[in-house]
């Protein structure tokens, strides 16, 4: 029976264990380029079998917040090379999460100060949870209401697909082991999947097939660029964040995706359980998904060692991804193996700022020393 600490094949790679670091935006790069500090942060966490980087934006249009490192320019690509070299030197593997936020943006972040784009011109509710972090005319960054989006034109959808493919090529040039298409958490891909947001009447709207078309085109283009065995995708089937209201065809939508992803041989699917901001991804859904998709299955969202071990032992998932625990516990793998107590992350330093709450969480021995009277 496999457990968390057993190796697993992922396409051409063998991961040292079945513990992944989930993608986490940290908002620490005002120049939007990964740098030596980014490399240090990921290097500290490289005992994870797999690291998935923070969402890295594929174009200027894809941006939804300041200080997020992108992957569409040569300079940004060079910045990420520092990260991959460091992680590989530590024996780890790392995928870049490719991100387009869609309507979760502000005109100040968009090319020419235009409207953010989405499947349709469906605005977000004016809710504090829907705010984006932007720098307005006064030059001071802060949380602001998203600018109402406009619908992408057909030709522009092809451009978005091209941006993902180009970003994937950049990621491989930068030395990444692969890329994860961000299809989760209410961003652009989900804005096409969800009929409460997607009101299109062309081949990208209406039926489940049409609403899934963008996701599948992204997979096809990225796989053509870098090979399906280097492509994963993240999905959050029952997430409700950013106004993703429930819809009746949710399970059918994601099982259709499972079939298409199976056919294309993408190397992994990373399901994100957004509890409590959404319904639980239950055992029945995992079994149904797995009966169709036979690649590596990752699951994230509120996991602890006990639950992760149980899900892997029962063959419901292959790899357990941890988010917040990796922020405060750079040596999470060792701590889990030794049942060492886990440090709690400081929510105030999740996004933005410098070293504090980023690269200064100590490994277990020093943590224990610090706790000693």
Ligand X SMILES: Cc1cc2nc3c(=O)[nH]c(=O)nc-3n(C[C@H](O)[C@H](O)[C@H](O)COP(=O)(O)O)c2cc1C
Q: Which residues are catalytic?
A: 187
The reply to whether 97 sits near ligand X by the rule CB under 6 A is yes
Q: Using the rule CB under 6 A, which residue among 40, 131, 145, 324 binds ligand X?
A: 324
Q: Using the rule CB under 6 A, which residue among 2, 114, 302, 354 binds ligand X?
A: 302
The reply to whether 130 sits near ligand X by the rule CB under 6 A is no
Four-CA torsion 184, 149, 147, 137, nearest 10 degrees: 110
CB of 224 or CB of 347, closer to ligand X: 347
Q: Using the rule CB under 6 A, which residue among 184, 235, 299, 333 binds ligand X?
A: 184
Nearest residue to ligand X by CB is: 323
Cα separation, 15 vs 197, in Å, equals 38
The reply to whether 272 sits near ligand X by the rule CB under 6 A is yes
Cα separation, 249 vs 326, in Å, equals 34
Site for ligand X in 200-259 (CB under 6 A): 234
The reply to whether 191 sits near ligand X by the rule CB under 6 A is no
Least distance to ligand X, CB of residue 22, Å: 3
Cα separation, 177 vs 147, in Å, equals 35
- 80: number of Cβ within 10 Å: 28
The reply to whether 48 sits near ligand X by the rule CB under 6 A is no
CB of 47 or CB of 151, closer to ligand X: 47
Cα separation, 318 vs 299, in Å, equals 8
The answer to whether 296 and 318 have CB atoms below 8 angstroms apart is: yes
CB of 68 or CB of 151, closer to ligand X: 68
Least distance to ligand X, CB of residue 192, Å: 16
Sign, CA torsion 114/117/121/124:
negative
The reply to whether 110 sits near ligand X by the rule CB under 6 A is no
Cα separation, 364 vs 359, in Å, equals 14
Q: Using the rule CB under 6 A, which residue among 25, 59, 61, 76 binds ligand X?
A: 25
Which spans of this chain sit near ligand X (rule: CB under 6 A)? 22-25, 54-55, 97, 182, 184-185, 234, 272, 300-303, 322-325, 350
């Amino acid at each position: 029976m496999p457990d968390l600490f057993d190796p697993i094949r992922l396409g051409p790679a063998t991961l040292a264990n079945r513990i992944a670091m989930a993608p986490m935006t940290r908002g620490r790069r005002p120049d939007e380029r990964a740098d030596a500090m980014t490399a240090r942060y990921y290097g500290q966490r490289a005992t994870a079998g797999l690291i998935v980087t923070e969402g890295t934006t594929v174009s200027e249009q894809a941006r939804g917040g300041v200080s997020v490192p992108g992957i569409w320019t040569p300079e940004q690509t060079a910045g990420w090379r520092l990260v991959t070299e460091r992680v590989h030197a530590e024996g780890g593997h790392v995928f870049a999460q490719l991100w387009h936020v869609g309507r979760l943006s502000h005109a100040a972040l968009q090319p020419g100060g235009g409207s953010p784009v989405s499947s349709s011109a469906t605005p977000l509710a004016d809710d504090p949870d829907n705010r984006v972090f932007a720098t307005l005319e006064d030059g001071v960054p802060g949380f602001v209401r998203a600018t109402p989006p406009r619908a992408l034109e057909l030709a522009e959808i092809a451009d978005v697909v091209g941006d993902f493919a180009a970003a994937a090529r950049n990621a491989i040039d930068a030395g990444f082991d692969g890329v994860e298409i961000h299809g989760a958490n209410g961003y652009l891909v989900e804005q096409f999947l969800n009929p409460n947001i997607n009101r299109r009447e062309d081949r990208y709207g209406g039926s489940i097939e049409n609403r899934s078309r963008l996701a599948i085109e992204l997979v096809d283009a990225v796989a053509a660029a870098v090979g399906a065995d280097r492509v994963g995708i993240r999905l959050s089937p029952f997430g409700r964040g950013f106004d993703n209201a429930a819809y009746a065809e949710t399970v059918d939508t994601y099982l259709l995706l499972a079939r298409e992803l199976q056919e294309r041989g993408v190397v992994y699917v990373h399901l994100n359980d957004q509890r409590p901001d959404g319904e639980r991804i239950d055992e029945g859904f995992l079994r149904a998904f797995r009966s169709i998709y036979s690649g590596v299955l990752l699951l994230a969202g509120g996991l602890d060692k006990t639950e992760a071990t149980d899900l892997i032992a029962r063959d419901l998932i292959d790899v357990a991804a941890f988010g917040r625990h990796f922020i405060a516990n750079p040596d999470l793998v060792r701590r889990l193996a030794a049942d060492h107590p886990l440090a709690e992350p400081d929510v105030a330093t999740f996004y933005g700022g410098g070293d504090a709450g980023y690269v200064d969480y100590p490994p277990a021995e020093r943590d224990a020393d610090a706790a000693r009277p």
